[in-house]
Amino acid sequence: MHISWTFGSLLGVATALSVTHNEPQHVFSNPPVDQQYYKIPTVHESAVMARRILHLASQGTLVTSFPEKDSKSDTVEDQDMDAQWYLPAGLEGSPIGLMEYIGDCENDGNPTLLAIDIATPFRNYKAGSNISLAVRWWPTQTHTYSFFGNGGEDAIDIPTPHTPAALPRFSLHGRLEELDMTDVKNAKIPMCFVRKHPDSVLWQPGNDVHSSKYVRFVVEEVFWFGGFGDRARIGWLPVEEWRNVTKQEIDELRLPGEKKQKKNAWWKDLL
């Protein structure tokens, strides 16, 4: 009974919103950008949002696929690890997503990672796997808004825009490229990374436990999921837009739920 009531209530919310705004619901495709209520961010605005999220993010999900059984290890050390972490039958080619620390340390749209050679994502990539990085925006503070009248017994508070389904996220696709020590020192990569991840000081390159190195995730494609499809852009963003976002644009933008929001932010009417 409780489940039916909840589902019915959600349908009521959707119906009420549709009737209130008297506009068609666009679920499976983006509506025309000239519709006043359903103002969808432009491609460039979406790219700026994505770069702002990357700038603030400290972690993401690195997705790779397990290698085929006949893939050959390069060294005795690799062979020992293969024997220790024997892949169960049937998982060859199966994707796996694991959290990894990231940092926007080069300020060019290519995330920085501290790759530990023994870690599964980097072992899979070394064996020939494709790789992608999923990042999402999640503000720390919360607000709720009632969609019904005066907050009576039937009122339902919905955490908007802080429900995960309404907030933006994206997936980066590309390749890993090792940073040589000159790049690391000149760009002050370790200082940037440790500032965001103080515990990573324990597995910096040259530590006594694991072999590690700094790598950049060279972005070649960007899939953007801005939120609900009737008010957010969903789809591939041109990589040129991703790369051409300026530091000023990143610094000036405030995402939904960020503290000190811009009073005239272009997305304010979408909330």
Tens digits of per-residue pLDDT, 109-119? 999 999 999 99
Whether 17 is in a domain gets the answer yes
Q: What is the pLDDT of residue 112?
A: 97
Looking at the structure, do residues 44 and 148 belong to the same domain, yes or no?
A: yes
Are residues 190 and 68 part of one domain?
yes
Count of other CB atoms within 10 angstroms of residue 162: 19
The residue range of the domain holding 72 is 40-257
Residue 93: both structure tokens together:
């080619």
Q: State whether 23 and 47 are in the same domain.
A: no
CA 160 to chain centre: 19
Q: Check whether residue 7 and residue 76 sit in a common domain.
A: no
Considering only CA atoms, which of 181, 63, 60 is closest in space to residue 113? 60
pLDDT tens profile 197-230: 999 999 999 888 889 999 999 999 999 999 887 7
> Structural domain tally of the chain?
2
Same domain membership, residue 71 and residue 100: yes
User: Does 136 map to a domain?
Assistant: yes
Q: Stretch 164-183: mean pLDDT, rounded?
A: 91
Same domain, 2 and 120: no
Residue 51 maps to a domain? yes
Q: What is the pLDDT of residue 70?
A: 57
Strands 131-136 and 59-65: antiparallel
Place of tokens 């620390």: 101
Q: Considering only CA atoms, which of 127, 133, 108, 8 is closest in space to residue 68?
A: 127
User: Which strand (E) or helix (H) includes residue 121?
Assistant: helix 120-126
For the stretch 223-260, pLDDT in tens is: 999 988 778 899 999 999 999 999 999 999 998 888 76
User: pTM for this one?
Assistant: 0.75
Residue 77 lies in a domain: yes
